[in-house]
Amino acid sequence: MNLRPITLLCASLLLAATSLAQTPPPPAPAAPAAAPGTNATQPPRRVPEGPYVQPAPVAPGDLTTWPRGVSPTEVGKALAEHFVTGTQGARFSGYPYVCTFYGAMTFAALTHDDSLRDRLIALFDPMLPGGSGRQPQRHHVDDSIFGVMPLQIAIQTKGLPTYDPKYLQLGLSWADRQWAPPTPDVTYPEAVVPLDNLQGLSPETRFWVDDMYMLTMLQLQAYRATGDRKYLDRDAHEMVAYLDRLQQPNGLFFHAPDVKYFWGRGDGWFAAGMAEMLRTLPADHPDRPRILAGYKLMMAALLKYQGADGMWRELIDDPAAWPESSSSAMFSFALITGVKHGWLDAAAYAPAARRGWIAVTGYVDQNHDVTQVCTGTGKFDNMQYYLDRRRETGNLHGQAPVLWAADALLRDEK
């Protein structure tokens, strides 16, 4: 076999491969020239933020000057808009909805935000009789508080061209129903007073601590809208009965007579209810001294139990319990209101009110949802039950009292 042609072919291929390996690669594209005075090896620098300006010092009890992002105007606007434009306000969800609506409407009045007011009214209108929304039905404090919404609309639209008496009529129907004489065809879930011996109390009376906001606010709103003293008198009488039944010597309140725990939001409802009552109750009302004494006793207890972080706990007297935002906002509202009205000594109580507000705003996240909110909680005679309650974000139980506290800071009340 003649191997010469094969040998020549292999040699040719080896020579070609060697030649290709020695051929230099094409030059890479030239990098753009660096700008004059720029180090080409360094990434561009960020735009400087400017010199830090230290905020002016404020007194520990100052209730007018706030760090950036903490002012009641900023926080209140964010939460009110979140309610009126988002999913929270799109569907009626019971008494927490009512409480948030009231806080947002009040914020609109205090900031002269007519657009916010009108959008909130538009949210409510489908719940009018004959509308597509729903109204609650039970003869129960958690349902009857529904009447607060149309009464607040009536109060804020009085004297305007858009005023419509239907809101006042609807709200008063709820307030009057709450004190109507019982009839055999009506049931009152969880009520405990003998229906044949009410002694001036509402048939809806449960002696749960929560009632002192739910029930109190409906009757107060009816009085504020009409000036009819009957609403105020029955309301004050009811609150005195609850004070006598639930407040303990340390100033705090049991959840119910048979559930002897100082649950944070439960006590928060009573604190807020007393503050609202005292805002409206005339100085010469016979029940005012008793209610004011109960309020002051509670506020003194809150000073004792406020944490170093400015918050109050899920169980108020248990320092190991978790910090809870809705109760802390309610207590802040009650303290702010007392300081601004002069019921509380500003030197002692204003610093606690300020710390409480700043602490609570730290629990509002980037979506304007309040975090660390205790879920809805009925009474239950077990301590661990309260400690194990679920912590929620965006629950209206938390959104509402943050709005109330913002409103209290914005009110010009002496």
Cα dihedral 108→114→116→119 (10° resolution) = 130
Give the model's confidence band at 56: pLDDT under 50 very low, under 70 low, under 90 confident, else very high.
confident
Q: Count of CB atoms within 10 A of residue 138's CB?
A: 14
Q: What is the pLDDT of residue 15?
A: 38
Reported pTM = 0.87
Residues contacting 148, CB < 8 A, separation 6+: 98, 101, 102, 171, 217, 218, 221
Give the model's confidence band at 222: pLDDT under 50 very low, under 70 low, under 90 confident, else very high.
very high
* Better pLDDT: 8 or 26: 26
Q: What is the pLDDT of residue 3?
A: 41
Closest to 311 in 3D by CA, of 366, 374, 383, 251: 374
49 pLDDT more than 90: no
183 pLDDT more than 90: yes
Q: Are 412 and 64 in contact (CB under 8 A)?
A: no
Query: If you average pLDDT over every residue of the chain, what do you get?
Result: 90
Q: What is the pLDDT of residue 46?
A: 62
Interval 261-276: pLDDT, tens: 999 999 999 999 999 9
pLDDT cut 70: percent of the chain above it: 87
CA–CA gap between residue 180 and residue 241 (Å, rounded): 19
CA–CA gap between residue 217 and residue 215 (Å, rounded): 6
136 pLDDT more than 70: yes
Interval 311-339: pLDDT, tens: 999 999 999 999 999 999 999 999 999 99
Q: What is the pLDDT of residue 413?
A: 75
Query: Among the listed ranges 22-31, 157-166, 401-410, which one has the minimum average pLDDT value?
Result: 22-31
* DSSP state at residue 348: H
Query: Mean pLDDT, to the nearest integer, of 142-160?
Result: 98
Closest to 133 in 3D by CA, of 118, 122, 117: 122
Domain 64-191+199-410 sits in CATH at 1.50.10.10
Query: Among the listed ranges 9-18, 24-33, 56-65, 272-281, which one has the minimum average pLDDT value?
Result: 9-18
Q: What share of the chain is helix, strand, coil (3-state, %, to 5)?
A: 55, 5, 45
Strands 391-392 and 373-374: antiparallel
* Better pLDDT: 78 or 46: 78
pLDDT cut 90: percent of the chain above it: 83
Secondary structure (DSSP) of 153-195? HHHHHTTSTT--HHHHHHHHHHHHHHTSPP-TT---TT--S-T
Tell me how many degrees the CA angle 297-284-412 measures, rounded to the nearest 5.
Answer: 70
Q: What is the pLDDT of residue 7?
A: 42
39 pLDDT more than 80: no
